[in-house]
Amino acid sequence: MSALKDIRVFDMTRVLAGPLCTQILGDLGADILKIEQPGVGDITRSWGPPFDDDAASAYYLSCNRNKRSLTLDFTKPEGLEIAHKLIQTSDIFVENFKTGFLTQHGLGYEAVKKIKPDIIYCSITGFGQTGPYAERPGYDFQVQGLSGLMSLIGEPDGDPLRAGISISDISTGIYSALAIVTALFQRSRTGEGQYIDMSLLDSTLALMTFASQSYLLDGKQPPRVGNGHPNIVPYGAFKAKDGFVIIAIGTQAQFEKFCRFVNREDLLSHYVNNEVRVHHRAEVVHEMNKITAEQTVAYWIDHMEKIGVPSGPVNTLEEAFQNPQVIARGTQQTAQGVRTVASPLGLSDSPPVYSKHPPRLGEHTEEILRELLSEVQIEELRAKGVV
């Protein structure tokens, strides 16, 4: 049985952070009502190529499975009335509009709470509902820079770089789903809902964990170290004969095993512990590249596994999806004919489901409205452009 069966989510999110949050809830069995602007829908539907046969972008497909799409113009009185009726049957309200926008249109937390007193209402914005930036729009790239994340990414003498994926949006979506599930648990004990204020900036600073903590501890900027690790050496992607091999030496014992395997015990006397190696990072990395350049990637992976030193290739996505471990874990799933990346939530008794493909714009409008209205009323709303 799905963990969130019979839980309904009124989903007023677009782009990535919000839709990813509600997709997680949908994977766990919640009924997600994705509210979209008639004729337009989620802007990411057009963010391509690539597109599927229904002209939906990969971007949109990545975070909108297990949902039902309802087109609704909530800025019109008839649309707002329908929204209020659906909210009465919902447990969770998730939105990522600019701060204050929904309040202006009768769908802020206080208005929704009057309709559904035990509602769990989650707002996702760039900077949260308080502070001097609360009114500003917030975007992933902008927040990666503002948070300090980009100062950590790149080669030591190179330019700062954004992460290759929208990590601020993604982390906020995941944290938001966690907050919502926590609020659901709290409601099961108290009978009361609550308001959840989520911020891309807050989430990104939290995501940086040991980097943020390092700064708070000593007030120093952690260095950019490319593929290396700011606190562990040697730990990186090193040059082999035919590519790059990741060798992640995380303990003194692993360093000793490596040095003995490559007949370089002199390194043990020169770089006696990790602290010394961190202070002499460039020298150690230079020696590592000299050693690894003598053999192939496959050679290093095979022999590092035998001696208990973590290692691996630098795969393309094609190679990653063909990896036997990825295949064995069922990481590629199908949702009504649409290939999708599986949820990583490995629940034994209530596993994620893949029951609905990412919906076409307005695909479930009539299905949802039939709960409230007759066919004649639905057609009247269509004629007015409300749905």
Condensed to tens digits (0 to 9), the pLDDT of residues 186-220 reads: 999 999 999 999 999 999 999 999 999 999 999 99
293-332 pLDDT, tens digit each: 999 999 999 999 999 999 999 999 999 999 999 999 999 9
234-276 pLDDT, tens digit each: 999 999 999 999 999 999 999 999 999 999 999 999 999 999 9
Give 296-318 as a DSSP string.
Answer: -HHHHHHHHHHHT--EEE---HH
Strand order in the sheet with 8-12: 68-71, 31-36, 8-12, 92-95, 120-125, 194-199
The 3-state secondary structure of 253-293, one letter per residue: HHHHHHHHHCCCCHHHHHCCCHHHHHHCHHHHHHHHHHHHC
% of the chain residues with pLDDT over 90: 97
* Residue 53 pLDDT exceeds 90: no
End-to-end C-alpha distance for the chain, whole angstroms: 33
- Cβ count within 10 A of residue 212: 18
Kindly list the structural domains of the chain, giving each domain's residue range(s) and its CATH number in brackets, ordered by start. 8-208+330-383 (3.40.50.10540), 235-314 (3.30.1540.10)
The overall pTM is greater than 0.85: yes
128-172 pLDDT, tens digit each: 999 999 999 999 999 999 999 999 999 999 999 999 999 999 999
* Residue 375 pLDDT exceeds 90: yes
55-92 pLDDT, tens digit each: 899 999 999 999 999 999 999 999 999 999 999 999 99
Residue with tokens 């989650």: 122
**Is 169 known to be catalytic?**
yes
Q: Where does the pLDDT of residue 36 fall: very low under 50, low under 70, confident under 90, or very high at 90 and above?
A: very high
For residue 193, what are its two tokens? 């809902």
- Catalytic member of 31, 140, 169, 202: 169
